[in-house]
Structure 1
Amino acid sequence: MKFSESWLRTFVDPALSSDELSHLLTMAGLEVEDQSPVAPAFNQVVVARVLEVVKHPDADRLNVCQVDIGQMSGTGTPVQIVCGAPNVVAGLKVPCALPGAELPGDFKIKVAKVRGIESSGMLCSAKELGIAEDASGLLVLPADAPVGQSIREYLDLDDQVFEIKLTPNRADCLSLLGVAREVGAITGAATKLPQVDAVPSTIADTRAVVLDAPAACPLYCGRIIKDVDAKAPTPEWMKRRLERSGIRSISALVDITNYVMLELGQPLHAFDNAHLEGAVHARLALPEEKLLLLNEQTIAVDADILMIADDAKPLAMAGIMGGEESGITLETRELFLESAFFAPAAIAGRARRHGFASDASHRFERGVDFGGTRRAIERATQLILDVCGGQAGPVVEASAELPARQPVRLRTARAEKVLGLPLGAERIAGLFKGLALNFTQEGDEFLVTPPSWRFDMEIEEDLIEEIARLYGYDNIPSPAPRARMAMLRQPEAQRPAYRIRQMLADRGYQEVVNFAFVESAWEADFAGKTEEADLIRLANPIASQMAVMRSTLIGGLVANLVTNLKRKQTRVRLFEVGRIFHRDASAQPVAGYRQPWRLSGLAFGGALPDGWANGGRKVDFFDVKGDLEALLAPAVLRFEKLDHPALHPGRAARILLDDREVGCLGELHPEWVQKYELTAAPVLFELEFDILKAVCVPAYAEVSKFPAVIRDLAIVVDRGLAFQALIDGVKQDLPGLITDLQLFDVYAGKGVPENKKSLALRIVMQDTQRTLQDSDVDAAMQQLIASLERNFAAQLRA
Structure 2
Amino acid sequence: MRVPLSWLREYVDLPSEVDGREVATRLISAGLEVELVERLGADLTGPLVVGRVLAIEELTEFKKPIRYCQVDVGQANGTGEPQNIICGATNFAVGDKVVVVLPGAVLPGGFKISARKTYGHVSEGMICSARELGVGEDHDGIMVLPPEHEVGTDAITLLELLDEVLDIAVTTDRGYCLSMRGVARETATAFGLPLRDPALLDVPAAGGPGHPVRIEDETACDRFVARTVSGVRPDARSPIWMRRRLQKSGMRPVSLAVDITNYVMLELGQPLHAYDAARLNGTIVVRRAAEGERLTTLDGVERKLHPEDLVIADDRGPVGLAGVMGGADTEIADAPHEPRSPLAPEVGTTDIVVEAAHFDAVTIARASRRHRLSSEASRRFERGVDPAAAGAAAQRAVDLLVLLAGGTAGEGVTDVGTPAPPATVEMRADHPDRVAGVTYGREVVVRRLQEVGCAVDGSDILDVTAPTWRPDLTEPNDLAEEVLRLEGYESLPSTLPRPPAGRGLTEGQRLRRRVGRALAGAGYVETLNYPFVGEKALDALGLPEDDPRRRAVRLANPLSEEEPQLRTTLLPGLLETLRRNHGRGGGDLALFESGLVFRPTGLEPAAIRPPVTRRPTDEEIAALRASVPPQPRSVAVVLAGAREPGGWWGSERPAAWADAVEAARVVAREARVELIVERDQHAPWHPGRCAALRMRVAGERLLVGHAGELHPRVVKALGLPERSCAMELHLDLLKGASGGPVAAPDISTFPVATQDVALVVDNAVPAAEVEGALRAGAGELLESVRLFDVFTGEQLGAGRKSLAYALRFRAPDRTLTAEEATAAREAAVATAISRTGATLRGA
TM-score, normalising length from structure 2? 0.75
Task: Name the CA shift for 1:771/1:36 in 2 (closer, same or farther; >3 Å).
Answer: closer
Task: Name the CA shift for 1:553/1:295 in 2 (closer, same or farther; >3 Å).
Answer: closer
Matches within 5 A, 1:313-328: 313-328=317-332
**5+ long unaligned stretches in structure 1:** none
Any idea what the Cα deviations from partners look like across 1:236-287, whole Å, max 9, x if unmatched? 5444434443444444433333332222222222323233332221122233
2:745 to 673, 696, 699: 699
| Distance in 2 between residues matched to 1:183 and 1:192, nearest whole Å | 11
| Distance in 1 between residues matched to 2:247 and 2:473, nearest whole Å | 33
Does the Cα contact within 8 Å between 1:608 and 1:614 map onto a contact in 2?
Answer: no
**Letter paired with 2:678:** K
| Distance in 2 between residues matched to 1:242 and 1:741, nearest whole Å | 85
**Letter paired with 2:676:** F
Task: Name the CA shift for 1:101/1:326 in 2 (closer, same or farther; >3 Å).
Answer: closer
Does the Cα contact within 8 Å between 1:713 and 1:763 map onto a contact in 2?
Answer: no
Match of 2:274 in 1: 270
Does the Cα contact within 8 Å between 1:588 and 1:594 map onto a contact in 2?
Answer: no
Any idea what the Cα deviations from partners look like across 1:302-329, whole Å, max 9, x if unmatched? 4333222222343222223333333333
Q: Secondary structure at the match of 1:225?
A: strand
1:399 to 408, 411, 417: 417
Does the Cα contact within 8 Å between 1:228 and 1:390 map onto a contact in 2?
Answer: yes
| Distance in 2 between residues matched to 1:316 and 1:492, nearest whole Å | 63
**Letter paired with 1:392:** G
Q: Secondary structure at the match of 1:10?
A: coil
Match of 1:452 in 2: 468
Match of 2:694 in 1: 655
Match of 1:430 in 2: 447
Does the Cα contact within 8 Å between 2:519 and 2:666 map onto a contact in 1?
Answer: no
| Distance in 1 between residues matched to 2:27 and 2:499, nearest whole Å | 39
Which one has a bigger Cα radius of gyration? 1
Match of 2:636 in 1: 600
Q: Secondary structure at the match of 2:446?
A: helix
**Letter paired with 2:407:** G
| Distance in 2 between residues matched to 1:131 and 1:774, nearest whole Å | 102
| Distance in 2 between residues matched to 1:782 and 1:93, nearest whole Å | 116
Match of 2:45 in 1: 42
**Letter paired with 2:2:** K
1:187 to 182, 188, 191: 191
Task: Name the CA shift for 1:126/1:514 in 2 (closer, same or farther; >3 Å).
Answer: closer
Q: Does residue 198 of structure 1 match 2:198?
A: no
Q: Secondary structure at the match of 1:574?
A: strand
**Letter paired with 2:485:** R
Q: Secondary structure at the match of 1:222?
A: strand
Does the Cα contact within 8 Å between 1:64 and 1:82 map onto a contact in 2?
Answer: yes
Match of 2:676 in 1: 639
Task: Name the CA shift for 1:609/1:309 in 2 (closer, same or farther; >3 Å).
Answer: same
Match of 2:60 in 1: none
Q: Does residue 708 of structure 1 match 2:753?
A: yes
* Number of aligned positions between the proteins: 773
| Distance in 1 between residues matched to 2:72 and 2:378, nearest whole Å | 51
The share of aligned pairs that are identical, in percent, is 30
Any idea what the Cα deviations from partners look like across 1:385-426, whole Å, max 9, x if unmatched? 3331324121122215x3564334445555335444332232
Matches within 5 A, 1:129-148: 140=145, 143=148
2:482 to 453, 462, 466: 466
Any idea what the Cα deviations from partners look like across 1:499-550, whole Å, max 9, x if unmatched? 5334333433333333222233555747765479832222222223322322
Q: Secondary structure at the match of 1:368?
A: coil
**Letter paired with 1:316:** G
Structure 1 residue 191, shift from structure 2 partner: 0.9
| Distance in 2 between residues matched to 1:543 and 1:448, nearest whole Å | 44
| Distance in 2 between residues matched to 1:555 and 1:97, nearest whole Å | 65
| Distance in 2 between residues matched to 1:393 and 1:280, nearest whole Å | 18
1:538 to 550, 555, 559: 555
Match of 1:310 in 2: 314
Does the Cα contact within 8 Å between 1:54 and 1:65 map onto a contact in 2?
Answer: no
Task: Name the CA shift for 1:726/1:22 in 2 (closer, same or farther; >3 Å).
Answer: closer
Q: Does residue 519 of structure 1 match 2:534?
A: yes
**5+ long unaligned stretches in structure 2:** 58-66, 335-347, 605-621
Does the Cα contact within 8 Å between 2:550 and 2:568 map onto a contact in 1?
Answer: no
| Distance in 1 between residues matched to 2:259 and 2:789, nearest whole Å | 98
1:583 to 597, 600, 614: 600
| Distance in 1 between residues matched to 2:100 and 2:586, nearest whole Å | 73
Q: Does residue 4 of structure 1 match 2:49?
A: no
Q: Secondary structure at the match of 2:330?
A: coil
| Distance in 2 between residues matched to 1:760 and 1:80, nearest whole Å | 112
Task: Name the CA shift for 1:219/1:613 in 2 (closer, same or farther; >3 Å).
Answer: same
Structure 1 residue 621, shift from structure 2 partner: 4.5
Q: Secondary structure at the match of 2:320?
A: strand
| Distance in 2 between residues matched to 1:772 and 1:96, nearest whole Å | 111
Match of 1:504 in 2: 519
**Letter paired with 2:182:** G
TM-score, normalising length from structure 1? 0.78
Structure 1 residue 652, shift from structure 2 partner: 1.7
Task: Name the CA shift for 1:80/1:284 in 2 (closer, same or farther; >3 Å).
Answer: same
Structure 1 residue 228, shift from structure 2 partner: 3.7
* RMSD, matched Cα: 5.3
Task: Name the CA shift for 1:657/1:408 in 2 (closer, same or farther; >3 Å).
Answer: farther
Task: Name the CA shift for 1:215/1:642 in 2 (closer, same or farther; >3 Å).
Answer: farther
Does the Cα contact within 8 Å between 1:281 and 1:309 map onto a contact in 2?
Answer: yes
Q: Which moved more, 1:614-623 or 1:694-703?
A: 614-623
**Letter paired with 1:684:** A
Does the Cα contact within 8 Å between 2:424 and 2:463 map onto a contact in 1?
Answer: yes
| Distance in 1 between residues matched to 2:753 and 2:303, nearest whole Å | 95
Q: Which moved more, 1:347-356 or 1:540-549?
A: 347-356
**Letter paired with 2:210:** T
Task: Name the CA shift for 1:465/1:134 in 2 (closer, same or farther; >3 Å).
Answer: same
| Distance in 1 between residues matched to 2:459 and 2:290, nearest whole Å | 52
Any idea what the Cα deviations from partners look like across 1:118-170, whole Å, max 9, x if unmatched? x9x9897677877677897797566486x997665566554434333322332
Q: Which moved more, 1:424-433 or 1:79-88?
A: 79-88
Matches within 5 A, 1:38-437: 41-42=44-45, 67=74, 79-83=80-84, 140=145, 143=148, 156-194=160-198, 195-199=200-204, 205-330=209-334, 331-348=348-365, 350-351=367-368, 354=371, 356-387=373-404, 388-400=406-418, 402-403=419-420, 405-411=422-428, 413-437=430-454
Any idea what the Cα deviations from partners look like across 1:689-711, whole Å, max 9, x if unmatched? 46489883422232214x73748
| Distance in 2 between residues matched to 1:766 and 1:231, nearest whole Å | 109
Match of 2:342 in 1: none
Q: Which moved more, 1:229-238 or 1:281-290?
A: 229-238
Q: Secondary structure at the match of 2:450?
A: helix
| Distance in 2 between residues matched to 1:268 and 1:732, nearest whole Å | 89
